[in-house]
């Protein structure tokens, strides 16, 4: 069981318009009616919904995060958005280095490292994603790949407060497949070891390590019970309040 306060974060990706505030309202209502103590909850909606959602959730139990940012504060970068703008809109964290950004936008670890620093510059938490592809897994390269990503994508100033690491095996995202509990345990323990070696017991030990990839209510309890799993990053099952609540309540004792 995790010694760090768990975080259950939903990544809505490119899904949702204003009417989706109904699901957010249902989520907040569900958490009010049936509180799950000692768990942080976050929704990362599309950028257009960050400001209205953060206003709706002001003072409530659901934090609002973003899914990506540019490295710069401002400038001639058509279509991009800075971490400062996301903070201004009410985001408290930014997911950086999601495998869909790595694959679809050719994002490198070096760029992700800069985006994490941009998040911190704006006073936000960086949720840095790492994880192997299926091919890498089949060649037995999982730990090598994840270690390399941690080394290059996590900046030197990472602390327990400003950084969350999300281990998301690429092949498990949106596929309905998950690694075995033993495999999650092995990878998370290795990530913890690397972080403690680099950042020390307090910072490296206190950094939250989320598991992501096909988490749903039916498998959340066993995945969240793994040592060094401090919560989940959830895609598909975060879009419906009932599904997401089912995952969050896996933390109810
Ligand atoms: C994700 O994309 O971060 C994710 C974990 O997606 P899903 O839960 O749908 O697999």
C-alpha separations of 193 from 95, 133, 204, 205, 226 in Å: 22, 22, 8, 8, 15
pLDDT at 2 over 90: no
* Atom number, ligand 1, closest to the C-alpha of residue 214: 10
Best residue among 131, 233, 238, 244 to mutate for probing ligand 1, ranked by most atoms within 8 Å of CB: 233
* Atom number, ligand 1, closest to the C-alpha of residue 238: 8
Cα 76 to middle of ligand 1, angstroms? 32
Q: Are the beta carbons of 223 and 234 closer than 8 angstroms?
A: no
Distance CA 53, CA 51 (A): 5
Q: Which residue's C-alpha comes closest to atom 1 of ligand 1?
A: 235
Cα 40 to middle of ligand 1, angstroms? 18
22: tokens are 């109904």
Residue-range domain boundaries for the chain:
7-251
Could you say which of 23, 84, 98, 107 is catalytic?
Answer: 98
Best residue among 45, 67, 212 to mutate for probing ligand 1, ranked by most atoms within 8 Å of CB: 212
pTM, whole model, 2 decimals? Answer: 0.98
- For domain 7-251, which CATH number applies: 1.20.120.450, 3.20.20.70, 3.40.50.10260, 3.40.50.300? 3.20.20.70
Whether 168 sits among the annotated catalytic residues: the reply is yes
Residue 87, classed as helix, strand or coil, is helix
What average pLDDT does the segment 69-88 reach? 98
**Model pLDDT for residues 150-207, shown as the tens digit of each residue:** 999 999 999 999 999 999 999 999 999 999 999 999 999 999 999 999 999 999 999 9
**Model pLDDT for residues 104-157, shown as the tens digit of each residue:** 999 999 999 999 999 999 999 999 999 999 999 999 999 999 999 999 999 999
**Pocket of ligand 1 from Cβ distances under 6 Å:** 11, 168, 173-174, 212-215, 233-237
Q: Which residue's C-alpha comes closest to atom 4 of ligand 1?
A: 235
Task: Give the pLDDT score at 253.
Answer: 73
123 φ/ψ sector (left φ>0, alpha ψ -120 to 50, else beta): left
**Model pLDDT for residues 16-67, shown as the tens digit of each residue:** 999 999 999 999 999 999 999 999 999 999 999 999 999 999 999 999 999 9
Task: Give the pLDDT score at 3.
Answer: 85
Q: Which residue's C-alpha comes closest to atom 3 of ligand 1?
A: 235
Q: Which residue's C-alpha comes closest to atom 6 of ligand 1?
A: 235
Distance CA 186, CA 152 (A): 21
What percent of the chain shows pLDDT beyond 90? 98
Could you say which of 70, 168, 188, 203 is catalytic?
Answer: 168
Q: Are the beta carbons of 69 and 119 closer than 8 angstroms?
A: yes
Best residue among 65, 170, 173 to mutate for probing ligand 1, ranked by most atoms within 8 Å of CB: 173
C-alpha separations of 36 from 29, 40, 53, 218 in Å: 12, 9, 21, 17
Q: Which residue's C-alpha comes closest to atom 2 of ligand 1?
A: 235
Q: Are the beta carbons of 237 and 216 closer than 8 angstroms?
A: yes
**Model pLDDT for residues 209-245, shown as the tens digit of each residue:** 999 999 999 999 999 999 999 999 999 999 999 999 9
Q: Are the beta carbons of 235 and 11 closer than 8 angstroms?
A: yes
What percent of the chain shows pLDDT beyond 70? 99
Q: pLDDT grade, residue 252 (50/70/90)? A: confident
């Amino acid at each position: 069981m995790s010694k760090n306060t768990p975080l259950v974060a939903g990544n809505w990706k490119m899904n949702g318009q204003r009417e989706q505030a109904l699901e957010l309202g249902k989520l907040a209502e569900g958490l009010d009616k049936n509180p799950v103590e000692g768990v942080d909850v976050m929704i990362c909606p599309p950028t257009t919904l960050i400001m209205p959602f953060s206003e709706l959730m002001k003072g409530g139990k659901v934090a609002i995060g973003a899914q990506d940012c540019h490295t710069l504060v401002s400038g001639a970068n058509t279509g991009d958005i800075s971490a400062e703008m996301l903070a201004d809109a009410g985001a408290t964290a930014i997911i950086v280095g999601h495998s869909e950004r790595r694959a679809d936008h050719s994002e490198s670890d070096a760029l992700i490292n800069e985006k994490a620093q941009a998040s911190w510059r704006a006073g936000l938490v960086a949720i840095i994603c790492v994880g192997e592809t299926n091919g890498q897994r089949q060649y037995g390269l999982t730990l090598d790949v994840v270690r390399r990503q941690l080394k290059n994508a996590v900046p030197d100033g990472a602390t327990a407060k400003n950084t969350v690491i999300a281990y998301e095996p690429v092949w498990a995202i949106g596929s309905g497949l998950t690694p075995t509990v033993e495999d999650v345990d092995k990878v998370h323990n290795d990530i913890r070891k690397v972080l403690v070696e680099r950042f020390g017991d307090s910072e490296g030990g206190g950094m939250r390590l989320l598991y992501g990839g096909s988490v749903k209510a039916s498998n959340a309890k066993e995945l969240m019970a793994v040592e060094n799993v401090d919560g989940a990053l959830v895609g598909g099952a975060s879009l419906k309040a009932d599904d997401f609540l089912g995952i969050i309540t896996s933390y109810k004792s």
